[in-house]
Structure 1
């Protein structure tokens, strides 16, 4: 075995060397093809596992067969419950089995896998474990196959993203290449399982940010997605998931734009409700007593009871979307069910996945959007002019607008839904609905994927903060210096040049008559201006875009505010008056001082400290706090945090979570206060807080 491992490592090192020497085209054709093959095979494996689980659990034990999409046969299902009493029990059983496997084998497989993959892109593209991928596939098949409301994209995304992570580790890819490998894994896995390769390629570049686009992932994503789609299609067919829906639709009545705008408004609000409810339930479940095995079972039981009234909440729901694409099918569903179904699906998904079950939230989001569009059609169809005879255009646009907005990936979702329904002609009027829905969601700055960052600049800053966590603990006031020179807007250009040259500085802040900061000036620029107009003043020569920060900022925020071509900025107080100047050299010196102070603190504590392992309880006031927030009393230093099978260093950027096993160095006088603080013992914690108010976070 050791010999085999040695050979594999040698082969990986050799392949990694080839990748690093290869051109961009060679590298991503090879890596993209390999990731695409795994994505396609992973999609096939999960698709088959889901079919088996559904036949065994919901159909076999529960006696209920859900409708299927056109690409899966387009069956209408049983239509009624033959053993209604078994439905809640089967869904609860699925939650119980899923919770048991996740808790015992891979806790990080809990919830929806796409968000975990996005987190890996930003934090560490090598962090996805192979075990988590396997557990995710099995538990998601059980959760959804038993009737839980979830999507099949989460496991497929994690399979291919996990393989991209494995390549990053094995081939020792550069960080930027590792991030691309995981990103295109996400897109290709989702694109394959939904039969939407172009949408999957764009999704790889679109989904990791809320308001930006990872251009570097687009071309590799095209290679990976088409390979994954080809592999999956060879086994399962190449037909669009929902057939060629709305194939006869033509946009030829401008009044329809009004109704598509209505869909956009409603879909945006429903998307906000989806995100708020899902994470509200997930956060509530974490705070409730009980272990992670029982909670998914309780959530499944609640979903099963809800399904007795609204059976459309069971499983993926794609078959019900297929039915709603036809006039007869949608009219056969009672109006009250159509109106309630988007919200019932939201609740069912939150209970199934947010309680600790396993599955995707992408698919349910599109089902929610489909019935949002269907509900708008049912209401408008009876009286509004220009409403299409078929509900298909409204259902399709509802899918695009609802999930495209809350996933903050409107372009990718539009393309995916168009491919899934075999209809590109709907894109023109759909842009109105998607644009309005996206603006609504963006106004509230919400997303269904919490791991998304705003843009590439924020991603760079986050990686810097993670690598140098002390930056977030040092206030700018400890690094700044008193400015050697502050100029006034009425100063003459020639005088300003003389004063800057005498002080030997490249620039200075400029203030107005009220001592408020206006901007800054640079010596090089002023010398050119003064030669042309020596008697002119600084008033119209000030750079109002010059960077500044406030006295409450920390060094990581200062670095984030510094443009690449500027090496200093002005520190302002609440009245925008100049409080100091901080240069990059000041930041470096302050960081070194903080490092030395931490080393001295460690040496003082370590001389008499003992080591304790304490677990963070669900009721601990430390849950959710970062280590650099100084939530622990003096004399306590966190050495490491064990979370599931992962070991994290005790860095400032680490958030404490319930269940974490924390190794701490503790001085003898603090040993009695530590365990109740971590356990969350209310009585002891109150006494400790009274004796030492600094023990607890405010």
Structure 2
């Protein structure tokens, strides 16, 4: 009796998911092509870094004039998934693409996941409004847009699908969006690769059997990863609030941030901490002489860049920080350096973004199955140890990580007090009505 209805639903999600994945794949391909050209140009002409403060003024002026409705970035996409009271402006896609490419061209330390997620979310919402779908379908298409952007920009379609579900509510997966998210992420990845984009190939780590001694080392490793994740999350958020309070003008704030990055660049005397830093990530897998301070410098460069308002994301810089940190910890704990770099790379972002499942899968897609079960153990432990915080303050939480009763409602991390209100019963928190 329900087979025709199920078939129609399957056909709908295959079609809609493929549409979202197609536009996400094209957007990611254009973005990655421009990003590669911008990075190559900066490396050919390192003097461009001196103009980062001027670039900050220009980007800030553009966003001050036309970008106020989209300044929330990834948090705006997550808020829209939950609240759905207004459309994500379509201008978000071209503006964040332009802003991120300029950030990298002039040496800002930022990533690319934020750009991909925002482009995917805005394009998916434009499709949802164009097709006049129901509020529930629109919400699932937004999750598909997140998945399609993330999966296509990193070449990790399964992790992209899980990330699109896991990032929306801490500790809970929205399986109602699983099919469109999976279709969008897989199709997006196929389209991006089909347009000639090649992704970074990371070394395959040494296989290491899990034993009691190895497990004890991973627990120490996880504590260190959680500490660095907390330092990054709190440092970036507090620096952003401090700069916003002291320098209300966005163009001026970004110019000051650009000046600080230039000063740091001259202080360390290397280009390694500018831009994405992918060569150093790969180096962390193979070089036991990687400087012990590399992870700290990249963390500082990234916190200043993003805290000042420059565009981009956190994933690749946190991959850098995590891989470099993992390299150092592996040497201290007697673990294989390549395995330590792989586990640190994934686990640090998992802890900072509250997405341990997606990043465990992503590690397998990037470096192979030899990273299991080590990455899952460290990512889960670090995720729990970071507490009720994350790089996306708009993430909702239904139950505290350490357990206890359900909260009275799905609450954004940014609104969570030090002692969150607890529900007196155990009903499932309700989301705001979207009717």
- State the TM-score bracket (shorter-chain normalisation): 0.7 to 0.9
Matches within 5 A, 1:84-163: 87=49, 89-110=50-71, 113-124=73-84, 126-163=86-123
- Displacement after TM superposition at 1:460 (Å): 6.4
Is 1:44 matched up with 2:33? no
Q: Report the alpha carbon displacement of residue 132 of structure 1 after superposing the two structures with TM.
A: 2.0
Give the corresponding residue for 1:263. Answer: 221
The answer to whether the 8 Å contact 1:126/1:165 transfers is no
1:25 CA drift (Å): 0.6
Does the aligned pair in 2 maintain the 1:208–1:452 contact within 8 Å? yes
Once the 2 structures are TM-superposed, how far is the Cα of residue 430 of structure 1 from its aligned partner?
2.1
Cα shift at 1:431: 2.4
Q: Does the Cα contact within 8 Å between 2:113 and 2:153 map onto a contact in 1?
A: yes
Provide the rounded CA distance (Å) in 1 between the counterparts of 2:29 and 2:409.
36
Query: Which of the residues 357, 377, 381 maps onto 1:432?
Result: 377
Q: Which residue of 1 aligns with 2:364?
A: 418
Could you tell me which residue of structure 1 aligns to residue 416 of structure 2?
A: none
SS at match of 2:122: helix
Q: Identify the match of residue 62 of structure 1 among 40, 46, 68.
A: 46
The residue aligned with 2:397 is 454
1:251 aligns with 2:209: yes
Correspondence for 1:282: 240
Q: Which residue of 1 aligns with 2:355?
A: 409
CA change 1:274–1:563 in 2 (3 A) is closer
**In structure 2, what is the equivalent of residue 296 of structure 1?**
254
Between structures 1 and 2, the one with greater strand share = 1
Number of residue equivalences: 409
Counterpart position of 2:309: 356
Q: Hey, which of these two has a bigger chunk of helix by percent?
A: 2
Measured in 2, the distance between the counterparts of 1:460 and 1:315 equals: 39
**Deviation at 1:114?**
2.5
User: Which of residues 308, 315, 320 is equivalent to 2:275?
Assistant: 315
8 Å contact kept, 2:88–2:125: yes
Contact 1:281–1:351 at 8 Å: present in 2 too? yes
Distance in 2 of aligned mates of 1:60 and 1:107: 34
Q: Are the counterparts in 2 of residues 126 and 178 from structure 1 also a CA contact under 8 Å?
A: no
Q: Distance in 1 between matches of 2:173 and 2:314?
A: 21
CA contact (8 A) 1:125 1:168 kept: no
Measure the CA separation in 1 of the matches of 2:380 and 2:6.
43
| RMSD value, Cα | 2.7
Shift of 1:30: 0.7
| Per-residue deviation, 1:414 | 1.2
Decide whether the 8 Å contact of 1:43 with 1:193 is kept in 2.
yes
1:175 to partner: Cα distance: 1.8
Partner of 1:273: 231
Deviations 1:3-46 (CA, angstroms, capped at 9, x unpaired)? xxxxxxxxxxxxxxxxx998321211011000000110010111
Please list the CA deviations of residues 343-383 of structure 1 after superposition, one character each: whole Å capped at 9, or x if unmatched. 32222222112212111122222222111111212334xxx
User: Which residue does 1:26 correspond to in 2?
Assistant: 11
Structure 1 gap segments, 5+ residues each: 1-19, 64-85, 464-556, 566-698
Report 1 or 2 for greater relative contact order, CA contacts < 8 Å, sequence distance ≥ 6: 2
Structure 1 residues 149 and 132: alpha-carbon distance in aligned structure 2, compared to 1, 3 A threshold: same
Distance 1:21 1:167, change over 3 A: farther
Does the CA-based 8 Å contact 1:210-1:452 persist in structure 2? Answer: yes
Aligned to 1:617: none
Residues in 2 aligned to 1:459 and 1:41: alpha-carbon distance in whole angstroms: 41
Spell out the pairing of 1:644-655 with structure 2 (5 A cutoff).
none
Q: Distance in 2 between matches of 1:410 and 1:47?
A: 25
Deviation, 1:241, is: 2.5
Displacement of 1:103 after TM fit? 1.5
Q: TM-score, normalised by structure 2?
A: 0.86
Q: Give secondary structure in 2 for the equivalent of 1:236.
A: coil
The aligned residue for residue 152 of structure 2 is 192
User: Does the aligned pair in 2 maintain the 1:158–1:186 contact within 8 Å?
Assistant: yes
TM-score w.r.t. length of structure 1:
0.55
